[in-house]
Structure 1
Amino acid sequence: MEREALPDWVIPPPGGFTADDFLRMRGLPRHTELIDGSLVFVSPQTMWHTSVLNLVANELDRQAPTHLRAVREMTVRLGERQAPEPDVAVVTSEAFGSDPSRTHFQAEDAVLVIEAVSPDSVERDREIKPRRYAAAGIKHFWRVERDGDRTVVYVFELEPANASYALTGIHHDRLKLTVPFDLDIDLGAVWRRR
C-alpha cells in the first residue's frame, strides 16, 4: 500500500513557521491558526459557539461607532510567529474596508479581540492567546464561556505598565459597557431568533 504524499505545510521548518510563511500557505483546513510558529487546527464548532458568536459579532457591529467594525474569524498578524484567528475582532473601519480581498489584519488594526472557549481550546483561549494579544498591544480582550445554559463574558483591558490584561468585569445576563464604546448586549438572546 502506497502512502499519499503529505502537503508541504505538514512539516514545519526548523524554528517553526513565520507569520509570513503562514499567510502565504494554501490548502490549510479552515480556521487554522499560527501560534508560536506552530499550526493549530480547531475542532468543529458547537451550536452554542456559533450562536453566541453570531449574536456578539452582530451586536458589536450594529452598536459600534462608525470608525469601528466587527468581523468574525479573520486572522490577526500579531508578530513574527503569531497569526491567530480570533472568533470576533473589532477593527478600524479603515482597515475593514481597505481591501475586499484581504485575508488578515495587523495587530494595530484591532481594538478588541474575542475568544469563545470550546473544550479543545480552553488552554489556548484562557492562557496562551490572551498573552499573545496583550504582547501585541491589543487594548481589549473578551473571553466568552458557557456555564450550563448561560453565557458568561469575561472582560479584560490591557494594563500598559506590565503589558498584560486585567479583568474589569464578569457579565452573566447582560453585557453593558462604556469601553471600548457604549454597548449593551442581552446575553440571554443567544438562543432567541432576532
Structure 2
Amino acid sequence: MTSAPDYSRGVDAERALKFAVQRFRGDRAQVIEGFIEPAAPTWDHERAARLVRRQIENRVDELGCVEGSGNLDLPGSSNWYIPDIAVVPEELAKGGGALLPDQTLLIVEVTSESNAETDRVVKRRRYAEYRAPLYLLVDRMEGSVTLFSEPGQLGYTSVDGPHPFGAVLRLPEPFDLDIDTGGLGPV
C-alpha cells in the first residue's frame, strides 16, 4: 500500500517553483519575482544579441570561456533567469546545471517591448545583488546601451551610459574591447 505524501513540514516554494520552470512544457521559461514567463525572443531581438555575441566571441575564446544563454539561479529568491548572453568560464559550463550570476564574467540583456522594464529595473537590481560583475543592457526601446559594473547590495555603483546606438562602448577587463553599437537598432 502506498502512503500519501507527508506535507506536514510544508513545501519549499522557491524549490518547487524552480523545479516547475525547469520542466516547463513548450518554450524555455524563466521566473521573474515569482512569476513564470516564457522566454521566446523575436527575430529582431535575436539579431541584436547575435551582433553583440559576434563582437565578443574571439575574446571569450581567448579567456577560456563560453558565451550562451544558459540558466542562472538566484538562490534565496523566486528568480530563475535565462539571460540573452552570459559569459562563463569553460569549466563551469561543463556541469550542465544552472549557474549563479557571480560565476559570470558578463551578462547581456536585450530589451523587448514585453520585458523592457524587467531588464532595466528588476534584473539590473538582482544581478547587482547576486554580484554579476558586468551587466550590459541593450535597450532597443530607448535605442541605447548601458554598462553596469561594481555590484553591491544596493545596486551597481558604476554606470557607463546610456549611450545612443551608434556609439562605441568599451568593455573593461577582462574583455578590454570595444563594442560597436551601430547595428543594434532597427534595420
Query: Do residues 138 (structure 1) and 132 (structure 2) align?
Result: yes
Q: How does 1:120-139 map to 2 (within 5 A)?
A: 120-139=114-133
Partner residue, 1:94: 91
Partner residue, 2:59: 63
Partner residue, 1:107: 101
Deviations 1:143-190 (A, max 9, x none): 102258xx5211111244x44113123333223333342112322245
Deviations 1:70-121 (A, max 9, x none): 21x211112132211111111112212x24xx15322332121111111110
Asked if structure 1 preserves the Cα contact closer than 8 Å seen for 2:102 and 2:133, the reply is no
Q: How does 1:1-194 map to 2 (within 5 A)?
A: 16-18=13-15, 21-22=18-19, 25-42=22-39, 44-64=40-60, 65-71=62-68, 73-80=69-76, 81-96=78-93, 98-99=94-95, 102-146=96-140, 151-160=143-152, 162-165=153-156, 166-171=158-163, 172-173=165-166, 174-190=168-184
Q: What SS does the corresponding residue of 1:60 show, helix, strand or coil? A: helix
Instruction: Give 5+ residue unaligned stretches, structure 1.
Output: 1-12
Q: What SS does the corresponding residue of 1:119 show, helix, strand or coil? A: coil
Task: State the identity as a percent.
Answer: 26
Size of the aligned set, in residue pairs, is: 171
Decide whether aligned partners of structure 1 residues 147 and 108 sit closer, same or farther in structure 2, where only a CA change above 3 A counts.
closer
Q: TM-score, normalised by structure 1?
A: 0.74
Partner residue, 1:5: none
Worse-matched range after superposition: 15-24 or 84-93 = 15-24
Q: TM-score, normalised by structure 2?
A: 0.76
Decide whether aligned partners of structure 1 residues 125 and 119 sit closer, same or farther in structure 2, where only a CA change above 3 A counts.
same
One-letter amino acid matched to 1:26: R
Decide whether aligned partners of structure 1 residues 143 and 82 sit closer, same or farther in structure 2, where only a CA change above 3 A counts.
same
Instruction: Give 5+ residue unaligned stretches, structure 2.
Output: 1-9
Query: Shift of residue 16 of structure 1?
Result: 4.2
